Every structure is written in structure tokens, then in C-alpha cells.
Amino acid sequence: MKQGIHPENYRFVVFKDMSNGTTFLSKSTAATKETIKFEDGNEYPLIKLEISNTSHPFYTGKNVLVDTAGRIDKFNKRYAKKA
């Protein structure tokens, strides 16, 4: 690996999954202005995530149902005039 290309300012940060409210503590260099009090009683910078391994269908094993009938009806309705 090349020397001197990796950041040196790693600090503990709380990541919060906004879809289910799960939080976890990890190290990061990402900048943020928000803070949160974590389970251990200390205050850490907060980084909000849209999705994490606790809510992603690949990791949870839960599939999202897709309304295929509704999409087909919309398609037929939209293009019925042109046929």
C-alpha cells in the first residue's frame, strides 16, 4: 500500500439507520455537525443512514413485495389509446 494516502483522523461515530432506528458505534472520518448520546452514556457525532445491514432485504432475508398487477394495469391504461 502507498504510504500517506489514508486519513489519520479516525474517531468514534454513531451510525443510525433511519428506516428502523438501529444505532451502532464504529470509527469514521466522515464529517457531521449532529451528535447523539449513545448507550454507553458518551456523546458521539451522528451519521444518519437511509439503509444498513439491519434493514436491507439482502441481509434480513425479507423480500419487498412488488405490485406487478398495478404496474401492468398502469401500462395498459397508458398505452391503450395508442393501440
For residue 41, give its domain range.
11-79
For residue 60, which of 11, 22, 14, 6 has the smallest C-alpha distance? 22
Residue 2 lies in a domain: no
Residue 5 lies in a domain: no
**Using one digit for the tens of pLDDT, what is the confidence trace for 19-76?**
888 899 999 999 999 999 999 999 999 999 888 877 766 666 666 555 556 777 777 8
Residue 4 lies in a domain: no
**The pLDDT of residue 74:** 77
Residue 45 lies in a domain: yes
**Residues 38-47: b if buried by 16+ CB within 10 A, e if exposed:** beeeeebbbb
- State pTM to two decimals: 0.65
Count of alpha carbons within 13 angstroms of residue 2, beta-carbon side: 4
Residue 22 lies in a domain: yes
Number of domains making up the chain: 1
